[in-house]
């Protein structure tokens, strides 16, 4: 039986993502198989990463999320309805790691029914445009399954041109599935290491990875040289070559928004200002982890922005005495948002 709440949330989130990003490009969906599988994305933001991956695919994955968000019984109930499963980390206490066995068994049952699971193999999130070392939890989950060779691991590259920017661009890129080949001649730890390295090798070409020794000097040049008139996937390919040293960054032809784009941006931002100001004052200023800012922006915006636009439309209709102006105002704002480019 379908999870109707999950389906509604996915459709609404998909619509919201089209408004939140000026360009949301998806590549490689042909690599997503039917049957048991795991999405393995890099992790640069908080839950927005998971929303993007799920909404970029026809699969409806279950998500492995940090266990501390399940502490409240009420929250746990709603998280389960959203198909979230708890995963415990070293920072939760070494003794809690044994609880992952129950989560892995739950994933194994999902595999038995041909379901999809999403797990972030890095085990943490971070802003730098780099692939961090992968943890062995994903490999352990699959190798402990009765039929590990049947589970496809699909690497997913998430590339934000701006981690925080409203109406910025994002690319979701699915790679070819990776399968484990159990080797009975090896001990478990070497098998875990080999499979983890195999996943990392498949994931790295799907994102921007700037080496440590060139990061501080190269990143500002990459940002200055971005061409917003070409698809974000093409721009990423250029940046990947620059990061690997194959080409030099061209700073001679930066793209500048035209006068119409700048006027349109001012118009849209003035209309969403009340919702944005309330969100920043009540929530964003109190966040300690900057990685949560875009996720909270997106999640709260799904509720606050439609509400505030509706209230503003009703007020305009009431004050003017012409109720048809309200719907016209909504159309103008939505069209302006659709045309807004970062």
Asked if 45 and 188 sit in the same domain, the reply is: yes
* The overall pTM is greater than 0.85: no
- Domain limit, last residue, from 194, 220, 255: 255
Asked if 168 and 236 sit in the same domain, the reply is: no
CA–CA dist 165, 293 (Å, integer): 10
Helix 259-271 × helix 273-282 angle, to 10°: 60
- Domain limit, last residue, from 255, 272, 287: 255
Asked if 202 and 224 sit in the same domain, the reply is: no
Collect all residues with Cβ–Cβ distance below 8 Å to 223 and sequence separation of at least 6.
none
Count of domains for the chain: 3
Asked if 50 and 183 sit in the same domain, the reply is: yes
CA–CA dist 174, 178 (Å, integer): 11
Structural domain containing residue 287: 259-339
Asked if 203 and 124 sit in the same domain, the reply is: yes
Residue 143 · residue 64 · CB < 8 Å:
no
Q: What is the pLDDT along the chain (342 residues), one digit of tens a residue?
A: 567 889 998 999 998 888 888 889 999 999 999 999 999 999 998 889 999 999 999 999 999 887 777 777 776 787 788 888 888 765 655 556 677 788 999 999 999 999 999 999 998 888 899 999 999 999 999 999 999 999 999 999 999 998 877 778 999 999 999 999 878 788 889 999 999 999 999 999 999 999 999 999 999 999 888 888 889 999 999 999 999 988 887 755 555 555 656 665 665 666 666 666 666 666 656 666 666 667 777 777 777 777 777 888 888 888 888 888 888 888 877 777 666 544
Asked if 188 and 214 sit in the same domain, the reply is: no
SS3 145: coil
CA–CA dist 231, 227 (Å, integer): 9
Asked if 16 and 147 sit in the same domain, the reply is: yes
């Amino acid at each position: 039986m379908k999870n109707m709440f999950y389906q509604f949330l996915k459709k609404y989130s998909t619509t919201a993502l089209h408004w939140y990003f000026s360009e949301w490009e998806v590549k490689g969906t042909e690599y997503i198989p039917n049957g048991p599988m795991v999405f393995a994305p890099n992790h640069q933001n908080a839950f927005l990463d998971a929303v993007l991956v799920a909404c970029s695919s026809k699969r409806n994955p279950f998500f492995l999320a940090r266990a501390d968000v399940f502490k409240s019984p009420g929250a746990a109930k709603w998280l389960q309805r959203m198909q979230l499963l708890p995963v415990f980390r070293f920072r939760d206490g070494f003794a809690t790691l044994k609880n992952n066995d129950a989560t892995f068994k739950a994933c194994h049952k999902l595999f038995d029914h041909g379901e999809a699971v999403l797990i972030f193999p890095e085990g943490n999130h971070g802003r730098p445009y780099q692939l961090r070392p992968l943890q062995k939890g994903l490999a352990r989950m699959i190798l402990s399954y009765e039929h590990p060779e049947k589970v496809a691991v699909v690497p997913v590259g998430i590339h934000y041109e701006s981690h925080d920017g409203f109406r910025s661009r994002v690319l979701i890129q699915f790679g070819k599935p990776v399968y484990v080949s159990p080797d009975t001649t090896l001990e478990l730890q070497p098998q875990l290491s080999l499979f983890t390295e195999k996943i990392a090798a498949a994931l790295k070409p799907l994102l921007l990875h700037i080496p440590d020794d060139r990061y501080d000097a190269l990143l500002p040049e990459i940002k200055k040289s971005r061409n917003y008139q070409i698809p974000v996937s093409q721009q990423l390919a250029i940046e990947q070559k620059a990061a690997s040293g194959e080409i030099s960054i061209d700073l001679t032809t930066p793209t500048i928004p035209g006068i119409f784009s700048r006027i349109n941006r001012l118009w849209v931002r003035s209309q969403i200002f009340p919702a944005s100001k309330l969100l920043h004052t009540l929530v964003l200023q109190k966040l300690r982890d900057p990685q949560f800012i875009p996720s909270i922006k997106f999640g709260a915006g799904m509720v606050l922005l439609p509400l505030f636009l509706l209230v503003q439309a009703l007020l305009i209709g009431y004050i003017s005495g012409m109720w048809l102006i309200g719907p016209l105002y909504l159309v103008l704002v939505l069209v302006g948002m659709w045309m807004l480019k970062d």
